[in-house]
Amino acid sequence: MTTSTSDHDHQLADASAAIIEQTVAALRSVDSALVSDPYIEAEFVAQIEHILGQTLATLGLSAAAEPKQASRGAEVGEHRARQNVHPVDSLKAATLLFDVGLGVLVKATGDRLGHDDIARALNASIMGNVIPASVAYVNVLLERLAVAHSEERLGISRELHDRVAHSIAAGMQRVDLSGLADPAGTDAQVRLADGMALFDAALDETRAIARDLRHFVGDKRLDEALNDYVADLDDAGPRVIVELDGMPFRLTTGTQEEAFIIVREAIHNARRHSGAGTITVSSSWQPGSVRLSVRDDGHGFEHDRIRSGALGLIAAQERAELIGADLTIDPGPGVGTHVELSIPIQEAGV
């Protein structure tokens, strides 16, 4: 007995409906977040329909899915992150969908296709949606983290400027007035002068910290954020020059923020410790990588004499590893220090 094309279509439609029904029922039995809300459930069902459509198209059993649906995985990942659906729920659902879908499709297709062919097609369709969804999910979380860091930095900056710096300035004023009260006391004058010098240094450092905390990448490109930071530096330290090679482009949120902090700290350290006359901040934007460097013409330092954790090297190395970048530091005794951060594009997620 011959089965018509129409019968095949009905069988496949029934199979798809059965897969959806069984998958949703199984998720309800374990109180999955994917079926706890009507909107999330409807989106989940639509994603299953898309995955099954891709699977059947791969197996040559139906027309290919429309191109506009290709970004569905990323869109769903963003939505689930914003809806606070844990990724474990999505991964469990993907595993369940494969188990349910494979069994139903094998029965629906009979002897027309091999078990392995169906399994490969179904797995490829599921992974083709899960992977971009996972990447999008992580990117949303990184954006949230960056925003949280920005708000925290701004809060600390305000506290340093409004409370700490104000208190130091008030203390300086009192010390100054107490010195005027006994102008004949030479020792007292010396002590007061020393105290004033310490207050001056503390106030300058506090203002520098407040300024650094105000600066982050946010919605800007990395090169724009670095330009803004350098432009906001005071005239007390060495001259800072910014150089650019290539055409800048936006990196992922997490990569930009971590790279900015590394370069910012390198500039800060060079201004404080190098004794340099000039600091050059350069960035090179190439198809295969982004290179950022901070070079000064100061006295440098002996690499083997660096104490553990000095100049924030450990933190900088950890930040570089976090974004898959290479960080090198050439101390150049007597000829200045060169800090270079190299970010491979494939690791940066551009």
CATH number at residue 295: 3.30.565.10
In a domain, 170, yes or no: no
* 223 and 325 share one domain: yes
* 113 and 224 share one domain: no
- Measured CA to CA, the distance from residue 180 to residue 225 in angstroms comes to 45
Q: Model-level pTM? A: 0.47
In a domain, 150, yes or no: no
In a domain, 73, yes or no: yes
- Measured CA to CA, the distance from residue 197 to residue 203 in angstroms comes to 10
Per-residue pLDDT of the chain (350 residues; tens, 9 = 90+): 445 566 777 888 889 999 999 999 999 998 888 888 888 888 889 889 989 988 988 888 875 555 444 445 567 777 777 777 777 788 888 889 999 999 999 888 877 788 888 998 898 888 888 777 777 776 776 666 565 566 566 666 665 666 556 656 666 665 665 555 555 556 656 666 666 666 666 666 666 666 666 666 777 899 999 998 898 887 777 899 999 999 999 888 778 888 998 998 899 888 888 888 999 999 999 988 999 999 998 887 655 545 444 445 667 887 888 888 999 988 766 678 899 999 997 543 33
Of 96, 119, 144, the residue that ends a domain is 144
* 131 and 259 share one domain: no
- Measured CA to CA, the distance from residue 256 to residue 187 in angstroms comes to 52
Q: What was the pLDDT predicted at 237?
A: 79
CATH at 58? 1.10.490
Q: What was the pLDDT predicted at 339?
A: 92
Rg (CA), the chain: 30
Burial class (CB in 10 A: 0-12, 13-18, 19+), 157: middle
In a domain, 174, yes or no: no
> Is the CB of residue 1 less than 8 Å from the CB of residue 44?
no
* 340 and 222 share one domain: yes
* 249 and 342 share one domain: yes
* 123 and 242 share one domain: no
The candidate with the shortest Cα–Cα distance to 297, out of 313, 269, 312, 275, is 275
Q: What was the pLDDT predicted at 311?
A: 44
Question: The tokens 């800007």 sit on which residue?
Answer: 220
> Is the CB of residue 125 less than 8 Å from the CB of residue 54?
yes
- Measured CA to CA, the distance from residue 125 to residue 132 in angstroms comes to 12
Residue 349's alpha-carbon distances to 61, 176, 237, 251, in angstroms, are 35, 55, 36, 7
Of 144, 165, 186, the residue that ends a domain is 144
The candidate with the shortest Cα–Cα distance to 336, out of 291, 275, 266, 269, is 275
- Measured CA to CA, the distance from residue 95 to residue 77 in angstroms comes to 17
Residue 305 neighbours by CB under 8 Å, 6+ apart: none
- Measured CA to CA, the distance from residue 291 to residue 343 in angstroms comes to 6
Q: What was the pLDDT predicted at 172?
A: 63
* 19 and 131 share one domain: yes
* 136 and 221 share one domain: no
In a domain, 112, yes or no: yes
Q: What was the pLDDT predicted at 21?
A: 93
Residue 190's alpha-carbon distances to 110, 204, 219, 247, in angstroms, are 98, 21, 50, 56
In a domain, 157, yes or no: no
Number of domains in the chain: 2
Q: What was the pLDDT predicted at 247?
A: 94
Q: What was the pLDDT predicted at 283?
A: 95
Residue 145's alpha-carbon distances to 148, 256, 318, in angstroms, are 5, 13, 17
The candidate with the shortest Cα–Cα distance to 61, out of 94, 16, 93, 99, is 16
* 108 and 9 share one domain: yes
Strand order of the β-sheet with 338-344 is 239-246, 278-285, 289-296, 338-344, 326-330
Task: Say which DSSP state 349 is in.
Answer: T
Domain housing 109: 5-144
Q: What was the pLDDT predicted at 310?
A: 45
327 phi/psi in degrees, rounded to 5: -120, 125
Q: What was the pLDDT predicted at 152?
A: 60
* 349 and 240 share one domain: yes
In a domain, 160, yes or no: no
Copy the structure tokens of residue 19.
């897969």
Of 113, 144, 175, the residue that ends a domain is 144
Task: Say which DSSP state 309 is in.
Answer: T
In a domain, 191, yes or no: no
* 342 and 251 share one domain: yes
Copy the structure tokens of residue 305.
């004499």
The candidate with the shortest Cα–Cα distance to 118, out of 60, 69, 70, 67, is 60
